[in-house]
Amino acid sequence: MDLPGRSVGSRAVQRDVVEFTNQLWGEHRGVAHSLLPTPVSLSVDDIETLRAQQYAWSWKTDGVRYQLLLTTNDKGENEAFCIDRKQTVRRLRNDRISPRETVQAPAFLAVGNIQIDVYEGSVIDVEYTGCGRWTVLDVVAVGGYSLRNVLSFKDRIGIVDLLWGDDSFVSNKEWFPMATAPSVDPTQYPTEQDGIIFMPVRGPIRTGLHANMFKLKWHHTVDLLWKDGAWRWVRNGMLQPVPYDVQVDAPRCAIDRPGVYELAIDAAPDAIEPGEIPRLDVSVVIQRHDKSVPNEFHTVQAAVRDTKSPITPGDIWGR
């Protein structure tokens, strides 16, 4: 799925937006610095961490991760931009993204997801209108001040409610305390909910692979790069072919272009004999135009592990 809005063609504007996000985060080197957090797949060993420390949980919804930047131009008008994983900058429609008229909030920076929404009975044209549903995961800066040292997750995301209120296309996820367990069978969840994410209620903002932010997915997927006739992941900072015999359930034309693809794991190998190349059955979900780098090897291995030995909400809450 493509991110909303129009791509910013001016390299100067693109550079200024990226540099400004660095400054709001506290990096003044003027280089691309993606703030997008990547939660790690929950393992059995992590369940004790969830029980011992303070965490909040929320439904995981599939979407495109982004940075949302609000600023003002020379005329004092609000401008909104989103920056994806590849540091592509897009200008957004202000009538959907701007905060309340009574609030002046220049230099606001957040990270989150965007989902295609349904509005008045039809699918919103996200690419051209920027009218998707923007769900904030964390707030990085407001009023030009970085929040990287604000340890309260509740205080950080509370800023979103102050700026936008309830009737808006920009909103927070609804978070629940760990004492409140989901009571619905996973097979009955709405289709837009593909799992659960867990966030520590106290701790600094994290970027990149988020060792303390966990995800539990109903259906495990991996992002692999199709290049030169082979599937590749990242290991030791380098692109390497995956050590699997990847069998793709899709027409050849579905993967005829190089790029990162989201693949659903249909069947994972059991015991692997020495010298054997394990078979991995997958199906193509979508080509990820917002990503140019595939998953790290440990992310793929975790997805394979969880496909063979899935963790359920009952394992976490003991119900």
**R_g of the chain, CA atoms, integer Å:** 20
Given a cut of 50, whether residue 71 has pLDDT beyond it is yes
Alpha-carbon distance 252 to 61, whole Å? 29
- Residue 151: the pLDDT is 92
For residues 21 and 102, state if they share a domain.
Answer: yes
Percent of the chain with pLDDT over 70: 75
Given a cut of 60, whether residue 53 has pLDDT beyond it is yes
- Residue 130: the pLDDT is 44
Q: Per residue in 103-149, pLDDT tens?
A: 655 678 888 776 544 333 333 333 434 445 678 888 888 888 888 88
Confidence of residue 306 (pLDDT cuts 50, 70, 90): confident
Is pLDDT larger for residue 294 or for residue 17? 294
For residues 126 and 20, state if they share a domain.
Answer: yes
- Residue 96: the pLDDT is 63
- Residue 65: the pLDDT is 77
Q: Check: CB of residue 264 under 8 Å from CB of residue 221.
A: yes
- Residue 95: the pLDDT is 61
Alpha-carbon distance 116 to 123, whole Å? 7
- Beta bridge pairs of residue 281: 247, 267
For residues 33 and 162, state if they share a domain.
Answer: yes
For residues 114 and 180, state if they share a domain.
Answer: yes
Sign of CA dihedral 120, 182, 39, 148: positive
User: Does 309 fall in a domain?
Assistant: yes
CB count within 10 Å of CB 126 equals 20
For residues 129 and 256, state if they share a domain.
Answer: no
For residues 164 and 256, state if they share a domain.
Answer: no
Percent of the chain with pLDDT over 90: 15
- Residue 4: the pLDDT is 44
Is pLDDT larger for residue 309 or for residue 50? 50
Mean pLDDT calculated for residue range 1-25? 65
User: Does 12 fall in a domain?
Assistant: yes
Alpha-carbon distance 79 to 64, whole Å? 21
Pick the last residue of a domain from 184, 206, 230. Answer: 184
Q: Per residue in 203-260, pLDDT tens?
A: 888 776 677 888 888 788 899 999 998 999 999 889 999 999 999 887 655 677 899 9
Pick the last residue of a domain from 184, 209, 235. Answer: 184
- Residue 6: the pLDDT is 47
User: Does 50 fall in a domain?
Assistant: no
Mean pLDDT calculated for residue range 304-317? 84
User: Does 207 fall in a domain?
Assistant: no
CATH code of the domain covering residue 249? 2.40.50.140
User: Does 273 fall in a domain?
Assistant: yes
Given a cut of 50, whether residue 24 has pLDDT beyond it is yes
- Residue 110: the pLDDT is 81
Give the SS3 label for residue 160: helix
User: Does 202 fall in a domain?
Assistant: no
Confidence of residue 189 (pLDDT cuts 50, 70, 90): low
Give the SS3 label for residue 169: coil
- Split into its structural domains, the chain has a count of 2
Pick the last residue of a domain from 184, 202, 230. Answer: 184
In order of 80, 83, 129, 130, 157, the CA distances from 91 in angstroms are: 6, 9, 10, 9, 23
- Domain that includes residue 274, residue range: 221-317
- Residue 230: the pLDDT is 92
User: Does 168 fall in a domain?
Assistant: yes
For residues 247 and 306, state if they share a domain.
Answer: yes
- Residue 202: the pLDDT is 92
For residues 180 and 104, state if they share a domain.
Answer: yes
- Residue 56: the pLDDT is 92
**Highest mean pLDDT pick, 27-36, 162-171, 288-297:** 288-297
Give the SS3 label for residue 33: coil
Q: Per residue in 267-289, pLDDT tens?
A: 887 766 677 888 999 988 888 87
For residues 180 and 225, state if they share a domain.
Answer: no
Is pLDDT larger for residue 290 or for residue 58? 58
Given a cut of 60, whether residue 191 has pLDDT beyond it is no
For residues 160 and 26, state if they share a domain.
Answer: yes
For residues 123 and 258, state if they share a domain.
Answer: no
- Residue 217: the pLDDT is 83
For residues 160 and 229, state if they share a domain.
Answer: no
Nearest Cα to 57, choosing from 199, 172, 183? 199
Given a cut of 60, whether residue 263 has pLDDT beyond it is yes
CATH code of the domain covering residue 15? 3.30.470.30
User: Does 54 fall in a domain?
Assistant: no
